């Protein structure tokens, strides 16, 4: 089986590439390297530096003829989506629509689409959120990610393109970029290891569902097994962990001696969100296997042992 992974030079996408290759699949990566890095690219994969919005995408499909597409590439910053909603929609909606058109025209059998369990539901009416929870996003990023879910349903109904939507929780682990807007685990870890000040947005009581990256990559494999019908699935642990708790856990692991500072809350940020993933456990036997403390230790070890790479772009 040949899979095309968009965003395969990025944090999560590169782990999915590794998981696919470990199972003997052929893998093609499409990434424009706007946030991804060549240092993350598995040399066993075929790599194309292409923007999803570019006409060059069609040529990749013509040349490679993938059977499966795992779509991770996205504008993923909540803050940027609020500040520049046109750019957010251009990348996340129009880029995804171009991808679906290529998939339709070139015989792709299945699309695995990565959505956001932390952004599409908005402020939860109940916790943990299951897939039946109302979708009421409070940021443009959540709107754009959910919009593509509707296109997937349409493309299945009109053209028979099979799909699974994976609504990710807060994913953390090795290769997450601590520079710029990234996951709080990577940011805090990088700052603590450099003995820099750590700033928590707001009071730090906001809760998220933290799942280790290799567990999410494994879900991208499991949904390809058998004849799973089209559907939407949460990935998550079913419990919330506050940003303050993450800070304290990382402080213990790294030996960081400072107290945190507190800055303003981020516009468009949900206060509490964690996900019910029982449907994924029922339909394709997925559940997290790496406990939070163990995952945080692995992440700290990765950043502690990481050497600067002059080829990293």
Q: Which residues carry out catalysis?
A: 141
For 178, other C-beta atoms within 10 Å of its C-beta total 17
Phi, psi of 278, rounded to the nearest 5 degrees = -65, -30
Cα distance between residue 310 and residue 308, in whole Å? 6
Give the gyration radius of the chain's Cα atoms: 19
| CA angle, 90 then 55 then 64, to 5° | 115
For 91, other C-beta atoms within 10 Å of its C-beta total 22
CB distance 157 to 305 below 8 Å: no
Structure-derived torsion over alpha carbons of residues 73, 17, 221, 77, reported in degrees to the nearest 10: -30
Place of tokens 């075929």: 46
């Amino acid at each position: 089986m040949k899979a095309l992974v968009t965003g395969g030079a990025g944090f999560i996408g590169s782990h999915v590439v590794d998981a696919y290759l470990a199972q003997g699949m052929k893998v093609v990566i499409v990434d424009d390297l706007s946030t991804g890095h060549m240092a993350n690219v598995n040399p066993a994969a075929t790599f194309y530096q292409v923007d999803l919005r570019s006409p060059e995408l069609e040529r990749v499909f013509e040349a490679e003829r993938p059977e499966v597409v795992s779509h991770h590439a996205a504008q993923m910053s909540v803050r940027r989506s609020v500040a520049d909603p046109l750019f957010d929609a251009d990348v996340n909606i129009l880029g995804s629509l171009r991808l679906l058109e290529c998939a339709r025209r070139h015989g792709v059998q299945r699309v695995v689409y990565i959505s956001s369990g932390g952004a599409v539901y908005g402020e939860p009416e109940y916790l943990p959120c299951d897939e039946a929870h109302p979708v009421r996003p409070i940021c443009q990023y959540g709107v754009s990610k959910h919009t593509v879910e509707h296109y997937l349903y349409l493309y299945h109904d009109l053209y028979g393109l099979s799909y699974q939507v994976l609504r990710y929780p807060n994913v953390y682990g090795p290769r997450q970029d601590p520079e710029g807007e990234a996951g709080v685990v990577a940011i805090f870890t990088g700052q603590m290891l450099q003995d820099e000040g750590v700033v928590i947005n707001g009071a730090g009581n906001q809760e998220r569902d933290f799942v280790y990256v290799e567990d999410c990559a494994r879900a991208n494999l499991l949904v390809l097994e058998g004849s799973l019908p089209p559907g939407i699935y949460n990935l998550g642990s079913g419990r919330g962990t506050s940003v303050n708790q993450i800070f304290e856990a990382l402080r213990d692991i790294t030996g960081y001696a400072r107290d945190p500072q507190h800055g303003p809350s981020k516009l468009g940020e949900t206060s509490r969100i964690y996900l019910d993933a029982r449907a994924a456990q029922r339909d394709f036997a997925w559940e997290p296997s790496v406990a939070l403390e163990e995952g945080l230790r692995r992440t700290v070890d990765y950043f502690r042992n990481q050497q600067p790479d002059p080829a990293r772009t």
